[in-house]
Structure 1
Amino acid sequence: MLEESLENVTPTAPATDPPSAKKAVKEKPPAVESKPFAEFIQQDYFPALTKALAERGVTDLHVALERSKIAVKGFETAPECSQVIGSWNGGKRQFNIYFLDDDIQGQRAISCVDFGHIASTIESFLVLDRKMTLDLLVLGLVLRLNSQKWLLRN
């Protein structure tokens, strides 16, 4: 008898919320790092960098984005690349960040020069396995310039 009553039972679908009752999923705005390279550098990186260095006493920072050869001895024949060039203290201190692939996620290098000399060394800059962000780019440069003893004295 129990078997007969089970045969007549039709399974019901589990109750679900109607589609209109589901919460609207908020989409995140695209990250600033996903902008085209030159747009990101000029609209986001320069203001953030200027602010960070101003907080550390650099008041006459001039930054520019250029595409030119690497101005380091021994790299005269290297191809051109995009460079963030920053100078202050009346042009006496200068850093160059080289973006070899025109991409913040690509290979990067840095050089620092004092008193208008030509750089003699180039170093890798922020070699990380992580995704590069605006904050990392700013912090990396601030730490590098501080290790140069250009921002804070020990």
Structure 2
Amino acid sequence: MVEESAENVVPATAAGKKAKPAASDAPATDTPAPSGAETPAEKTVPPKKEKPPAVEAKPFIDFIQQDYLPALTQALVAKGITDLQVDLERSKIAIKGFETAPECNQVIGRWDRGSRQFNVYFFDDSIQGQRAISCVDGAHKASTLESFLIDERKITLDLLVSGVVLRLNSQKWLLRN
């Protein structure tokens, strides 16, 4: 008969199953990992690619002149507006009742030989601040100042452009119904 030594006997658990050998019971290997293979501790996590800053993060004047004016011009020309001139100006609001209001930055668009004009007002010199819009046709002065994109949490270039296009379309200046 084979004698059972204490080394060969695995103690049984309470449920009658054999217990797993402890980690110290596992045979030690002195063989190194093959070259090129990484052990779990040596695995390197590739660095996360940083997103480039959004164009909206630029200083206000740079954003308006470098990004907003060209994008707005392109969108309005695509809708069929000819002889369009879009500029950024700092001036008083030319609406009755706002004579004493301080100057603010305004994106002013003119076309149809200057007979149609819209103004987008940036009161806080920030695209995330308070904004308004007005439209005027012919030789009249604008009489209404409307809030512009007030329900939006984050203002983006595309949102500013589409907001003006939608407002001018509502004015029936872009497409006829």
Q: Larger % of helix: which?
A: 1
Q: Pick from 37, 41, 65: which aligns with 1:16?
A: 41
Q: Confirm whether residue 50 of structure 1 aligns to residue 110 of structure 2.
A: no
**TM-score normalised per structure 2:** 0.77
Relative to structure 1, is the Cα distance of residues 25 and 108 closer, same or farther in structure 2, using a 3 angstrom cutoff?
same
Partner residue of 1:88?
111
C-alpha offsets along residues 94-135 of structure 1, whole Å, 9 cap, x if unaligned?
Answer: 000000000000000000001131111100001123200000
Offset of residue 6 of structure 1: 5.6
Offset of residue 75 of structure 1: 0.4
**TM-score normalised per structure 1:** 0.88
Q: Structure 2: which 5+ residue stretches go unaligned?
A: 1-9, 12-20, 26-38
Offset of residue 23 of structure 1: 2.1
Q: How does 1:1-154 map to 2 (within 5 A)?
A: 15-19=40-44, 22-154=45-177
RMSD: 2.1
Partner residue of 2:34?
none
Q: Which has the higher contact order (CA 8 A, sep 6+)?
A: 1
Runs of 4+ in 1 over 6 A off after TM superposition: none
SS at match of 2:133: strand
Q: Percent same amino acid at aligned positions?
A: 68
> Within 2, Cα distance between the matches of 1:129 and 1:16?
46
SS at match of 2:106: strand
> Within 1, Cα distance between the matches of 2:84 and 2:46?
47
How many equivalent pairs are there? 148
Q: Structure 1: which 5+ residue stretches go unaligned?
A: none
